[in-house]
Amino acid sequence: MVDTTRDLVRRRAKNRCEYCLLPQEHSELAHHVEHVVSKQHGGRDDMGNLALACHRCNLHKGPNLTGIDPLTGEVVSLFNPRHERWNEHFAFHGTHIMGITPTGRATVHVLAMNDPRRLELRSEILARNQL
C-alpha cells in the first residue's frame, strides 16, 4: 500500500478510528489502515475497502465480517465504515459505546469497544472535553 493511500485514509477519517472514534492523538500506538473486507476474503487495497482503525479495534476485528448480535443471537454483518453511517448503528452513553442496531451490537461485542482500557481512555478524553 502506498504512503499516499495511507495518508488519504487518515485524512478521510480525520485521524480517528472509524469504529470506536478514538483520536490518534490519544492512542499510544499508531492507528492501522485496515481492510474492511480482509485480503483473505478477496478484499482489495482500494480506498473503498480501507478504513482507519485503532490497534484494539483492528486486532479484535481481524478478518471477521460478521458477528453474533448479543440481543437476538442472530449472525449479522459487522459495521462497514465505507457503506454505513456510525451514528445509525452506535451511540455514546457516557463513556460506553452502545450498539443501537443488530450490526452495532455485534460490532461493539466483537471489537470489544467497551473494554476497561477504552473506557478509561474515553473518561480521560471526556474530562478534557475532546470526544
Domain ranges, ordered by start, for the chain: 3-127
* Phi/psi at 5 (5° precision): -65, -45
pLDDT digits (tens, 9 = 90+) for 9-62: 999 999 999 999 999 999 999 999 999 999 999 999 999 999 999 999 999 999
For residue 4, what is the enclosing H or E element? helix 3-12
pLDDT digits (tens, 9 = 90+) for 60-79: 999 999 999 999 999 999 99
Q: Is pLDDT of 128 > 60?
A: yes
What is d(CA 61, CA 19) in angstroms, rounded to the nearest whole number? 10
Cell of 53: 482503525
pTM attached to this predicted model: 0.92
